[in-house]
Amino acid sequence: MYSGQKSGRTGHRREDPAGRTATSQVLSTRADRAVGYVDPVRELGRITAELGELEAAAMVDAELASNLLRLRRYMDRLESVFTRWAKASEGRGIGLEDGARSTAAWIGWKTGRHPGAVNHTLRVAEVCELLPTTEAAWRAGEITTPAVEMIAAARVRGADDDLIACEALLLEPARRRDHRSLRLATQYFRKCAEANGRRPDDVDGFTLATFGDRCAVRGEMYGDAAETLAHTLSVFSLPAVAGDGTTAAQRRAAALVRACEVALGRGPAAEGARPAVTYITHAPTGDTEPLTLGHFTGVIGPADRDRLLCDATVTEVVVDADGVPISVGRATGRWLTAARQAVITRDGHCRFPGCEVPAPWCDVHHHRHRRHGGPSTSDNGVLLCRRHHTFVHRRSGWRTTFERQRFRVFRPDGSELHPDPWHDERLAAPCRS
The model's pLDDT over 182-223, given as tens digits with 9 standing for 90+, comes to 988 898 888 888 765 444 455 667 788 887 778 888 887 766
CB 219 within 8 A of CB 205: yes
Q: How far apart are CA 250 and CA 262, in angstroms?
A: 19
Q: To which H or E segment does residue 107 belong? A: helix 103-111
Strand partners, 364: 383
- Measured CA to CA in angstroms, residue 20 lies from 11, 179, 252 at distances of 16, 51, 60
- Measured CA to CA in angstroms, residue 417 lies from 307, 323, 405, 422, 430 at distances of 21, 46, 17, 11, 20
Question: What does the CA dihedral 301, 304, 309, 311 come to, rounded to 10 degrees?
Answer: -160
77 CB neighbour count, 10 Å cutoff: 15
Question: What does the CA dihedral 265, 267, 268, 269 come to, rounded to 10 degrees?
Answer: -140
Q: How far apart are CA 277 and CA 271, in angstroms?
A: 15
CA 211 to the chain's CA centroid: 33
Residues near 128 by Cβ (< 8 Å), separated by ≥ 6? 80, 83, 84, 87, 134, 135, 138, 148, 152
Residue 376 identity (one-letter amino acid): S
Indicate the burial class of 363 (C-beta count within 10 angstroms; 0-12, 13-18, 19 or more).
buried
pLDDT in tens, 252-268: 888 888 888 888 887 77
Tell me whether strands 27-28 and 2-6 are parallel, antiparallel or unpaired. Answer: unpaired
- Measured CA to CA in angstroms, residue 353 lies from 197, 383, 399, 400, 424 at distances of 21, 12, 13, 11, 12
pLDDT at 45: 92
Tally helices (H) and strands (E) across the chain.
Answer: 15, 14
pLDDT at 196: 57
pLDDT at 363: 85
**HEC letters along 8-58:** CEEEEECECCCCCECHHHCEECHHHHCCCCCCHHHHHHHHHHHHHHCCHHH
Residue 78 identity (one-letter amino acid): L
Phi, psi dihedrals of residue 95, rounded to the nearest 5°: 95, -20
213 CB neighbour count, 10 Å cutoff: 5
Low-confidence ranges of the chain (pLDDT < 50): 1-28, 30-31, 197-200, 428-433
Q: In what order do the strands lie in the sheet with 279-281?
A: 279-281, 292-294, 298-299
CB 385 within 8 A of CB 362: yes
pLDDT at 432: 46
Indicate the burial class of 385 (C-beta count within 10 angstroms; 0-12, 13-18, 19 or more).
buried
pLDDT at 420: 65
- Measured CA to CA in angstroms, residue 244 lies from 239, 355, 405 at distances of 11, 49, 58
Q: How far apart are CA 148 and CA 327, in angstroms?
A: 38
Phi, psi dihedrals of residue 362, rounded to the nearest 5°: -110, 160
pTM across the whole model? 0.56
Residue 63 identity (one-letter amino acid): E
Strand partners, 294: 279, 298
